[in-house]
C-alpha cells in the first residue's frame, strides 16, 4: 500500500477587518483552484499602516494539499 504525498505552499491573505478574515481569504481563494486541501498553518501576522493608522491585516499561511501525479 503506497503512502500519500502532500505539497506545501505559502500564501498571504489580506483583510481590512481582521487577521482571521485575512487567513480565511487565503484558504478560500486557494480552494477555488486546488483540491484536497488538508492543513493551514498561520505563520506570520502583520498589519499595513498608513498615516499612523492600521489600514489592513495580513496573514501568511502555509497550506498543504494532497499531491496527485
| Portion of the chain with pLDDT greater than 70, in percent | 97
DSSP character at residue 17: S
**Residues 1, 40, 47, CA angle at the centre, nearest 5°?**
160
Query: How far does Cα 14 stand from its chain's mean position?
Result: 9
Q: What is the pTM of this model?
A: 0.87
CATH number at residue 13: 3.30.1660.10
Mean pLDDT confidence for 11-29? 98
Domain contains 44: yes
Average pLDDT over every residue of 57-61: 98
Residue 12 domain-assigned?
A: yes
Does residue 1 form part of some domain?
Answer: no
Number of domains in the chain: 1
Q: How many CA atoms lie within 13 A of 65 on its CB side?
A: 16
Residue 1 pLDDT greater than 70, yes or no: no
Indicate the pairing of strand 6-15 with strand 37-50.
Answer: unpaired
Q: Which domain holds residue 28?
A: 6-66
| Residue 53 falls inside a structural domain | yes
Amino acid at each position: 500500500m503506497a503512502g500519500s504525498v502532500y505539497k506545501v505552499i505559502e500564501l498571504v491573505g489580506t483583510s481590512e477587518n481582521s487577521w482571521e478574515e485575512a487567513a480565511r481569504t487565503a484558504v478560500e481563494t486557494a480552494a477555488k483552484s486546488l483540491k484536497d486541501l488538508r492543513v493551514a498553518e498561520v505563520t506570520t501576522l502583520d498589519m499595513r499602516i498608513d498615516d499612523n493608522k492600521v489600514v489592513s491585516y495580513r496573514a501568511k499561511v502555509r497550506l498543504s494539499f494532497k499531491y496527485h501525479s
